[in-house]
Amino acid sequence: MDNPLTLALTVSGIGLLALFAALAVLYGLMYAMTAFIKDRPVAKQEEPAPAVETDERASPAARRAAVIAVALARAELEQNPAGTLPETGSSPWGQYHRRRLLDLNLRTRTGR
């Protein structure tokens, strides 16, 4: 047998060539897929129907009440959005990390 260093370099070289050949094949496949597969043209979309059908016979007072109710709901939503956390508490993400730090430092805090 030849020198072990020569054998190791030969095996490493063959492995590197195989790796780069596989990467080149994958790159070629991705290039071919993007070149030959095209997105379909977007069809012209129709305008959506109104969510609420208006009743032409509704009294003006009922319409005014509906408009006021919608305005109040939107104003309340702008003041306190539904997805926000309360100001006084902390986020679950912060609680998780503080608890994790306390658990990691448990041995230091006990004095043992």
Which residue positions in the chain have pLDDT lower than 70? 1, 49-56, 81-89, 105-112
**Residue 25 forms part of a structural domain:** yes
Number of structural domains found in the chain: 1
pLDDT at 81: 63
Does residue 91 lie within any of the structural domains? no
C-alpha dihedral over 92, 96, 97, 103, to 10 degrees? 160
The answer as to whether 14 is a domain residue is: yes
Rounded to 5 degrees, φ, ψ at 47 are: -70, 140
Q: Which residues of 75-109 are buried (b: 16+ CB within 10 A; e: fewer)?
A: eeeeeeeeeeeeeeeeeeeeeeeeeeeeeeeeeee
Specify the pLDDT at position 28: 96
Q: Is residue 54 part of a domain?
A: no
Residue 20 belongs to domain spanning: 8-37
Structure tokens at 109: 């805090």
pLDDT for the residue 15: 97
Q: Is residue 3 one of the residues assigned to a domain?
A: no
pLDDT for res 104: 78
Is residue 65 a part of any domain in this protein? Answer: no
Whole-model pTM: value is 0.35
